[in-house]
């Protein structure tokens, strides 16, 4: 909470949040005038070299579902997040469990973060489709949102990880 207060007092943080609010608002209007689900299709693309796996909501919902209760830097109240584990998605690409490779996550608003697959093996990182039992809409920064178990692990309460909480997740690309 203290961290959050300090970060939010910085003017740059305020500007960044304003820009994000405008982007989110634009997407909400777009989602309202078009068919929201169709706008985010394929919902998630996994890529490794030539291998491409596209997952629509049906296939994501058919996977093993996990649940995680945590606050976020945007929402101080604890939410009940549900979705699929990042490591289960890596398994879809045939990556042997625990193998660390460079990885990039991208969003529908063209945000990108370069990281490695390690986080998904070290922690139960969730690709959330639901919050408190409701599907994530674009107003919740969905339909897919990356949620780290930040309340469970102090190590994750760090700005290094904040950047990896991709909202409006579109794709995960792993370097072969
Ligand atoms: N789609 C998308 N996801 C994003 C961003 C963004 O601009 N677009 N910003 C990132 C950054 S820089 C941070 S710090 C985290 C958390 O932002 P918050 O601290 O405002 O919650 O969201 C990340 N996820
Ligand atoms: Mo950030």
Q: What are the pLDDT digits (tens) for 87-120?
A: 999 999 999 999 999 999 999 999 999 999 999 9
Q: How far apart are CA 92 and CA 141, in angstroms?
A: 24
- Ligand 1 touching residue 116 (CB < 6 A): no
In terms of phi and psi (left: phi > 0; alpha: psi -120 to 50; beta: otherwise), the region of 129 is: alpha
- Domain 11-174 is of which CATH architecture? Alpha-Beta Complex (3.90)
- Ligand 1 touching residue 109 (CB < 6 A): yes
- Closest Cα to atom 12 of ligand 1: 163
- Ligand 1 touching residue 45 (CB < 6 A): no
Q: How many CB atoms lie within 10 A of CB 149?
A: 15
Q: How far apart are CA 120 and CA 103, in angstroms?
A: 11
Instruction: State pLDDT tens for residues 46-78.
Output: 999 999 999 999 999 999 999 999 999 888 999
Q: How far is the CA of 169 from the centre of ligand 1 (A)?
A: 11
pTM: 0.83
Q: Please determine, for residue 8, whether its predicted confidence score (pLDDT) is greater than 50.
A: no
Q: How many CB atoms lie within 10 A of CB 4?
A: 15
- Closest Cα to atom 8 of ligand 1: 111
């Amino acid at each position: 909470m203290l961290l959050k207060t300090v970060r939010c007092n910085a003017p740059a943080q305020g500007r960044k949040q304003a820009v994000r609010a405008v982007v989110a608002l634009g997407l909400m209007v777009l989602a309202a005038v078009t068919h929201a689900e169709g706008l985010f299709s394929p919902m998630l693309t996994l890529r490794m070299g030539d291998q491409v796996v596209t997952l629509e909501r049906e296939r994501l919902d058919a996977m093993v579902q996990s649940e995680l209760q945590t606050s976020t830097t945007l929402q101080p109240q604890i939410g009940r997040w549900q979705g699929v584990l990042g490591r289960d998605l890596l398994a879809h690409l045939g990556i042997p469990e625990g193998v660390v490779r460079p990885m990039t996550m991208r969003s529908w608003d063209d945000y990108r973060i370069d990281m490695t697959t390690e986080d998904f093996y070290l922690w139960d990182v969730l690709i959330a489709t639901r919050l408190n039992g409701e599907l994530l809409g674009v107003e919740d920064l969905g339909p897919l949102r990356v949620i780290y178990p930040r309340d469970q692990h102090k190590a994750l309460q760090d700005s290094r990880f904040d950047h990896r909480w991709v909202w409006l997740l579109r794709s995960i690309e792993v370097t072969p």
